[in-house]
Amino acid sequence: MKIEAHHINNTKIAEVISDETIINTTEDGVDLLGNLYYQDYDRIVIHEKNITPDFFDLKNGIAGEILQKFSTYRVRLAIVGDFSKYRNKSLNDFMYESNKGRHINFVNSTTEALRILST
């Protein structure tokens, strides 16, 4: 795993780069949050491919637990990926509602993630 630092408009954003799954469990998500938070990042970009597919099944609670921690610590998160493959109405509604706010966003590109997180 590599952390690429982006500096935009005096804002420091961490982009997690990896070919492997980084978040397999709730604990993995909390560990990533803590590690980056203590490196003075309060805005994080992670790619969908680095998150277990279980995250996108809202019934198991992984997404809710992880995203609650991000909200509690006021760390903004952008998840980059192609979410069209998820045909679950609950998940689509959840992503839609999340995108209305500023804390958790589901976006299609890193460029869009950096734009959202730098404002």
Ordered by where they begin, the domains of the chain are 2-117 (3.30.750)
Q: Would you call 31 helix, strand, or coil by DSSP?
A: helix
**Percent share of the chain, pLDDT over 70:** 100
Region 31-37 average pLDDT:
97
pLDDT at residue 87 is higher than 90: no
Q: Buried b vs exposed e over 32-42: b needs ≥16 C-beta within 10 Å?
A: bbeebbeeebb
The pTM of the full predicted model, rounded to 2 decimals, is 0.96
Average pLDDT value for the chain: 96
Taking the C-alpha atoms of residue 45 and residue 70, their distance in angstroms, rounded to an integer, is 12
| CA dihedral for 119, 98, 37, 22, sign (positive or negative) | negative
| Look-up of token digits 């490196």 | 39
- Strand order of the sheet with strand 11-17? 2-8, 11-17, 43-47, 76-80, 104-107
So what's the pLDDT on residue 69? Answer: 95
What is the DSSP-derived secondary structure letter of residue 50? G
pLDDT at residue 27 is higher than 90: yes
Region 63-83 average pLDDT:
96
So what's the pLDDT on residue 98? Answer: 95
Task: For residue 87, report the phi and psi dihedrals to the nearest 5 degrees.
Answer: -100, 10
So what's the pLDDT on residue 56? Answer: 96
Q: Could you tell me what percentage of the chain is helix, strand and coil, using 3-state DSSP and rounding each to the nearest 5?
A: 45, 25, 30
